[in-house]
Amino acid sequence: MDRRRNHDDRIRVAFPFAGSLIGGSHFSSLGLVKHLDASRFDPFVIVDRMDNPIADLFRDLGVPMAAAPRPIALHHGKHVSLRNLVSSGLAVPILSKFLHRHGIGLVHVNDGRTAAIWALPARLAGAKLVWHHRSGPGAWGLRFASPLLANAVISVSDFARGRVARSAHKSHVIHSPFDTQIRVDRRHMRDMLLTEINHGPSTRVVGFFGAMIARKRPLLFVEAIAALRRQHPGLPVAGAIFGEAVEIPVEDVTALAERLGVADAIHVMGFRSPGANWIAACDLLAIPAVEEPFGRTLVEAMIVGTPVVASRSGGNADALEGGRLGRLVQVDDADALAAGMAEALTCADVTDEMIVAARAAVHDRFGEHRHAEQVMSVYHDLFPAARPLSRPLRT
């Protein structure tokens, strides 16, 4: 039997994940797995442990799932150490045999950590490798490892793809998928949030969503809230920070808020799911991040009707169509971010026009079905026999 295919002649596609921290790549993969054509592709999820949050996220789909035979501790946002490289190298034959035993024909890695662990085992097992790139264009793996190991590279934006990968014929840009049918009772969620942070109904809540790492600029967000208060002292405003403390401790955020005199206005909420519900609770989403490849929260805000102010950096300008669907401001400038926030909160007519345009655009560009078809088109290039004969893929 061709080990690229399972017993009913479908291509078995492995989705390996590392660690237990849930991020945008996991929700994107979840949307893809849900919409793969089950007559041609058989998804198989690999996790470090069967009792961690990532396993729980995929469990309800009813897809086959297994724990990796040798988990390797690579941590989000941290460079791979020499010790990590040695551990990964020693695990290669074990992981390769695991893939072979489970009849994996294609391995789809969704972040740098899983690529570092599973790319070489995939190729040694005779499986095709799809390298899904979700970080910046300077990533070492994208520039040096993916050209050697990957059969295809998918980047979430043209910015993320970078100059090196752009020249390769096996490189594709496919935006991350979203459930564009999300419906949230914004008033109810807003009331819940205001009650939790103990603010009155006149308070305008600005949300920050994302892991608290340097690139996301949570400290700049605090500085911008302080600047907004200085610029508009009569505007009641609060900043709500949603996300796990990964590189930047909560204590650093609260200490900065104290020094700037806005401790009463900054609220660290922790990670919340589903995130779109809490984005809908906010009057505005602020994205001060730099070199953001393609932020999920930005698109989720467009879906639920929350206006966006973002740094003109990375994939933000692409997602917001150059400022047509949300405001873009100078990078690393707290005063500019605050001015953009003020415009969004006070210029209702312009903001409402942006919200309507964003909702219309998101349905055309970011639907889960469209994403799955685009990814399956990449799979088909690697396995032409799996291409359907009855109808062409939509483009």
CATH of the domain at 134: 3.40.50.2000
Q: Are residues 122 and 87 in the same domain?
A: yes
Tell me what the mean pLDDT of segment 305-325 comes to: 94
Please give the full DSSP string across 197-243, using - where no structure is assigned. Answer: HT--TTPEEEEEES-B-GGG-HHHHHHHHHHHHHH-TTS-EEEEEES
Q: Are residues 256 and 371 in the same domain?
A: no
What is the pLDDT, as a whole number, of residue 394?
39
- Domain extent for 242: 186-365
Q: Are residues 136 and 208 in the same domain?
A: no
Q: Are residues 253 and 274 in the same domain?
A: yes
Query: How does residue 78 score in pLDDT terms, banded at 50, 70 and 90?
Result: low
Q: Are residues 146 and 194 in the same domain?
A: no
N- to C-terminal Cα distance for the chain?
34
Q: Are residues 157 and 191 in the same domain?
A: no
Tell me what the mean pLDDT of segment 88-109 comes to: 93
d(CA 25, CA 287): 18
List, for residues 43-64, the tens digit of each pLDDT value.
999 999 999 999 999 998 989 9
Q: Are residues 300 and 272 in the same domain?
A: yes
Please indicate whether residue 394 or residue 314 has the higher confidence score (pLDDT).
314
What is the identity of the amino acid at 251?
E
Q: Are residues 224 and 200 in the same domain?
A: yes
Tell me what the mean pLDDT of segment 186-208 comes to: 98
DSSP H helices, the chain, are 24-35, 53-59, 82-101, 112-124, 140, 146-149, 158-166, 186-197, 218-231, 250-259, 275-281, 296-304, 316-319, 334-346, 348-365, 368-382
Sign of CA dihedral 214, 23, 122, 133: negative
Tell me what the mean pLDDT of segment 312-340 comes to: 95
In a domain, 20, yes or no: yes
What is the pLDDT, as a whole number, of residue 6?
53
State the CB neighbour count (10 A cutoff) for residue 188: 12
Q: What percent of the chain has pLDDT over 90?
A: 70
3-state SS, residue 52: coil
Q: Are residues 169 and 220 in the same domain?
A: no
Q: Are residues 151 and 200 in the same domain?
A: no
Domain count, the chain: 2
List, for residues 208-258, the tens digit of each pLDDT value.
999 999 999 999 999 999 999 999 999 999 999 999 999 999 999 999 999
Per-residue tokens: 194: 């205001």
Q: Are residues 122 and 204 in the same domain?
A: no
Sign of CA dihedral 224, 226, 229, 232: negative
In a domain, 395, yes or no: no
What is the pLDDT, as a whole number, of residue 242?
97
